[in-house]
Every structure is written in C-alpha cells, then in structure tokens.
Amino acid sequence: MADDETFCYRDGELYCEGAAAERIAEQYGTPCYVYSTALLRERFKRIRQAFAQWDTLVCFSVKSCANVSILKLLAQAGSGFDAVSGGELYRALVAGADPEKIVFAGVGKTAGEIEYALQEGILMFNVESRAELEAINEVADRLGVRARVAIRVNPDIDPRTHEKTTTGKGGTKFGIGIDEAEKLAGEAAGWSGVELRGIHIHLGSPIYSTEPYERALAKVVPLIERLRAAGCRIDRLNIGGGFCISYTGEATPPPQEYAAAVESYLEKSACAVIIIEPGRYIAGNAGMLLTRVIYRKETQFGKRFIICDAAMNDLVRPTLYGAFHRLWPARSEEGMPQVVLAEQEGFDGIPTELVDVVGPVCENGDFLARARALPRLEAGDLLAVFDAGAYGFSMSSNYNARPRAAEVLVDGPEHRLIRHRETYGDLVGPERQFM
Ligand code: LLP
C-alpha cells in the first residue's frame, strides 16, 4: 500500500486503510488517535531495507509513539528499541521486545534505571557524561556484571532544525565532545564495570538534509579509528534518528538518500553493527488525530475560530514548535489537496475560508492551526489532523484536567481500541486515597 493510499478519500469520505474515519469516530469518540498497521510496517521495512547492506539494527524510538500495541507490532516485525527512561524500557519489555535489541540514551539515567536496564540485559547504554559512566560502572560492579556502553558524542554540528530539538550542537546538554570522549575512553579502559563497544550520535529531529549526518560522521569516524588504535574494541556505530517526513505533502529525502550519503563513512568505520533510531519516519505519517468541531465562532475583531474537542494537551507540536500539520474535514467531496502549505490561502476549485483551529484549553497558545484555509466547517463536523503519529499522543497531557484521547489501530478494514479514553476517575486515581 503506497503512503498516499493509507489515509485517503474515497467517495468523499476519509479512510485509514479500509476503515472510514467517521465510523471510527462514532465508535470510539473524539479526540482519537488513529494509526495504520500497514504504514507502520511498511515504514519499518523501508528504513531497514535502506540500510540493509550493513548488519543494521533498527531501534524504534519509543518516545515518538509509545503505545504498547504499536511497540509489539514493531517488535514482531523485528524492531529493536531506543529507550530514554525506565518507563520507556518497561513499555518496550511489556510489548515483548528482545532486551538484546534495546539501547538506552538520555542525559539523566538514575542509578535505579541503570540497575533495571542491567538486570533486564539490554544491548547497551548510550552514555552522555563522565559522571554517568562512573554511575554505570558502580552499579554494574555492585551487580557483578559488565555493562556494554557507547559514548554518545556531541559532534558540534548544526542539524538546522528547530532550536528545541537540536541535540548535536556544542552547548546543548547532549553527548560528550570529541576530545573529552577520547580522553574518557582511555581512562575507562581500566574500569571493571563497563566495556566501551560503540559510538553514538543523535543530531536532532527532524533533519531535512543528509549533510549534517555526513559532517558529523566525518568527525566521528576518525575518532573511532583513533580509539581502536588505542586498543578499544569499537564495533558498533549508532547514527541515531532524525530522518524526516513530509508534513505538507511535498517530497522529502527517503531513507535510501540518508543511507547513500553516509555509506562511505559507515564502510570506513569498519563497525560490525550499525544502529539507527528512527521514530518519526516510522510513526509520523502513520497516525492521524480525529477531532470534532464543537463551535464556530466569528468575532467583531474579524477572526474566525473553529473550536474543536482536541487541544494543545492532545497535540502540543503546533504551539510548542510552531509545527505545521495538515488538517482537513473527514467528509470532503473533493478530497484533500495533494500539498497543503502553511502560507496557502486557498485551493483551486475548493472554496475555503481562513480560520484558526483551536481547542478548549484556556491559553492563547492552544491551537492546532492558525490562519489556515479550510472548507467551511460547522459544529459536528469531523476534522482529521494528519501526520500526528509521532510525538502526538506521546507528548499529550492532562492539562486543564482533560482526559487523554483514545488510540485506535486500523488493520485493513478492521480497527480496535489500543488505549481507552481516560475517564474522570483516571484523572484523580493517583490522588483520591490521599484526600
Ligand atoms: N534517538 C534519540 C537519542 C533521540 O533523542 C530521538 C528523538 C530519536 C532517536 C528519534 O528521533 P526521530 O527519528 O523521531 O527524529 N518532540 C519533537 C521531537 C523530539 C525528538 C527527541 N529525540 C517533535 O515533536 O518534533
């Protein structure tokens, strides 16, 4: 199934695979996240194939989309996982992940999390500071095991993405500078609890060109060579995630382009195993958020608002990063235009009006789209927010005491609930006993 056939209009109605959006919304209510099994599988397969010339372990980034049914589906397809907390590790294990395919990154791993990961026998830790490496060494010694680690290098490369999701630049909290990494590797060679096996980078997200990866690897590969010459057994190179997707319908580099760009570096690194950590590429386009219009509101100040039942607590990306998500009514005779741009004011042949699509949360920053050209919407209409599968539900919150949305997984014509809509009872569950 081609990407653009997964979420598409047939006879004026939006479908995810073989399931009509309107039926899903009626059955499970709104707001509701809807994911395509076919597209999740297809994207996993595609990125794995792009890197197939190496022995590549794909570690799906749990933070992008953490529902255990989705992790299970990917684990069954052969995926490993990139976790950044004990909670994410727990989710992956509950989903049936093979611990030998789990890598653990993050700048603040606690001793408890380190112990948990060691007991479960994960593949390796991506270490982000000297203090953390010491902590891992200590915990591993106490447990009588040896922890496999990769040093997460901060190569000081600008990935040219949003400032808040830039991680490979010097001055951010992530990773260890090349010089420090070399020094630390030398010292840690004598520590009994850790075994340095790899180098890790993750530059930022999303990265719309291959060039930052090339520039980073041009620094990292010589480091690997030097470490090896000094006696370290570096046999794993993890190039992180950041592989972009299209949010507008416009073309973006496919995974083969990233693989081709880094090919000579990966060869030169002579690492037996290559690790990649895609999140957005696998889950981003594979999920949409369905929301119903509650009210139209036209003001004397010349503004037109479409107020819907999804809000910033359900999808924070627009307000947090100024992110653009395509948005279109689930019933539309003309279907959705191929490309929808942020600055677009109308579409050929489709009458539109300029609106702000907002939620019920009490903040001016609560919006899903601003100044967006959309066909006229009325109360009760169903609206789809596309490409919300990554960093959508996983970043949602209970702000304004809003129960979090339901999640539904579609497989062909079938669909099933994979997370029930939270209840008011769920909201106070952890507090009630202390009243
Ligand atoms: N590996 C590490 C160590 C990461 O920190 C991340 C994402 C990934 C892999 C996966 O990156 P991806 O392939 O999904 O680009 N909330 C932001 C994105 C934050 C990304 C954080 N790290 C957003 O909504 O755009």
Q: Which residues line ligand 1 (CB under 6 A)?
A: 61, 63-64, 82, 105, 165, 202, 205-206, 240-243, 277-281, 317, 321, 390-391, 395
Are 201 and 152 within 8 A, CB to CB? Answer: yes
Question: Domains, the chain, ranges and CATH?
Answer: 3-36+284-431 (2.40.37.10), 105-278 (3.20.20.10)
Please give the distance, rounded to the nearest whole angstrom, from the Cα atom of residue 205 to the centre of ligand 1. Answer: 5
pLDDT score, position 189: 93
Taking residues 30-59, what's their average pLDDT? 98
**Residue bearing tokens 């677009």:** 344
CA distance 175 to 177: 7
Please give the distance, rounded to the nearest whole angstrom, from the Cα atom of residue 318 to the centre of ligand 1. Answer: 16
Q: Find residue 270's DSSP bridge partners.
A: none
Taking residues 92-115, what's their average pLDDT? 98
Instruction: Report the nearest-CA residue for atom 23 of ligand 1.
Output: 391
pLDDT score, position 5: 86
Taking residues 308-324, what's their average pLDDT? 98
Name every residue whose Cβ is closer than 8 Å to that of residue 12 and which is 6 or more positions away in sequence.
331, 332, 333, 335
Q: How many CB atoms lie within 10 A of CB 360?
A: 16
Confidence class for position 4, pLDDT limits 50, 70, 90 = confident
Catalytically annotated residues: 362
Instruction: Report the nearest-CA residue for atom 24 of ligand 1.
Output: 391
pLDDT score, position 2: 67
Mutate to test the pocket of ligand 1, among 47, 60, 61 (most ligand atoms within 8 A of CB): 61
Please give the distance, rounded to the nearest whole angstrom, from the Cα atom of residue 166 to the centre of ligand 1. Answer: 9
Percent of the chain with pLDDT over 70: 100
Cis peptide before 31 (omega within 30 of 0): yes
**What global pTM score does this model have?**
0.97
Is the model's pLDDT at 1 over the cut of 80? no
Please give the distance, rounded to the nearest whole angstrom, from the Cα atom of residue 204 to the centre of ligand 1. Answer: 7
Cis peptide before 206 (omega within 30 of 0): yes
Q: How many helices (H) and strands (E) does the chain have?
A: 13, 21
CA distance 168 to 283: 22
CA distance 176 to 126: 11
Mutate to test the pocket of ligand 1, among 176, 280, 282, 324 (most ligand atoms within 8 A of CB): 280
The one-letter amino acid code at 381 reads D
Instruction: Report the nearest-CA residue for atom 16 of ligand 1.
Output: 391
Please give the distance, rounded to the nearest whole angstrom, from the Cα atom of residue 418 to the centre of ligand 1. Answer: 23
CA distance 423 to 405: 10
Can you tell me which atom of ligand 1 is nearest the CA of 165? Answer: 19
Can you tell me which atom of ligand 1 is nearest the CA of 205? Answer: 15
Confidence class for position 310, pLDDT limits 50, 70, 90 = very high
Taking residues 15-22, what's their average pLDDT? 98
Please give the distance, rounded to the nearest whole angstrom, from the Cα atom of residue 64 to the centre of ligand 1. Answer: 7
CA distance 131 to 129: 5
pLDDT single digits (tens) 258-304: 999 999 999 999 999 999 999 999 999 999 999 999 999 999 999 99
Is the model's pLDDT at 198 over the cut of 90? yes
pLDDT single digits (tens) 132-186: 999 999 999 999 999 999 999 999 999 999 999 999 999 999 999 999 999 999 9
Smallest Cα–Cα separation from 408: which of 429, 384, 381, 377?
384
pLDDT score, position 349: 82
Is the model's pLDDT at 224 over the cut of 90? yes
pLDDT score, position 283: 98
Name every residue whose Cβ is closer than 8 Å to that of residue 156 and which is 6 or more positions away in sequence.
168, 169, 170, 177, 178, 219
Instruction: Report the nearest-CA residue for atom 9 of ligand 1.
Output: 241
**Residue bearing tokens 């190569």:** 155
Instruction: Report the nearest-CA residue for atom 19 of ligand 1.
Output: 165
Can you tell me which atom of ligand 1 is nearest the CA of 391? Answer: 24
Name every residue whose Cβ is closer than 8 Å to that of residue 272 and which is 6 or more positions away in sequence.
55, 235, 236
Mutate to test the pocket of ligand 1, among 205, 258, 276 (most ligand atoms within 8 A of CB): 205
Contacts 24+ apart (CB under 8 A), 177-185: 177/153, 178/153, 178/219, 178/220, 178/223, 180/130, 181/151, 181/153, 181/223, 182/223, 182/226, 182/227, 184/130, 184/133, 184/151, 185/151, 185/227, 185/230, 185/232
The length of the chain is: 435
CA distance 161 to 158: 8
Q: Which two tokens stand for residue 302?
A: 């010349």
Taking residues 301-323, what's their average pLDDT? 98
